[in-house]
Amino acid sequence: MIREVIGLAQRIKCKVEECAYNDSYLCRAEEIEVRSSGENRVVNSTDGTACETFKPKDATLINPEK
């Protein structure tokens, strides 16, 4: 099961270069969580989604409340 999850993550293309998990536009996280990006928001396009697993490469940008 774990092997399947890792294999899936290795196929996730992502253009968020600022994320610590991004390696040449591929996600290297073992798994990711994606959610709607706003409170009480109707999601009907990719703009309404956000990756909850995002971790900034620049450690000074980490939100201590998250």
Distances, alpha carbon 7 to alpha carbons 1, 22, 31, 42, 62, in Å: 10, 15, 10, 31, 28
**Amino acid identity, residue 37?**
S
Q: Give the number of other CB atoms < 10 A from CB of residue 57.
A: 12
Site for ligand SF4 contains 32 (CB under 6 A): yes
Tell which positions 37-66 bind ligand SF4, by CB under 6 A. Answer: 51, 53-54
In the complex with ligand SF4, the residue whose CB is nearer, 12 or 37, is 12
Q: Name the site residues for ligand SF4 (rule: CB under 6 A).
A: 12, 14, 16, 19, 21-22, 27, 29, 32, 51, 53-54
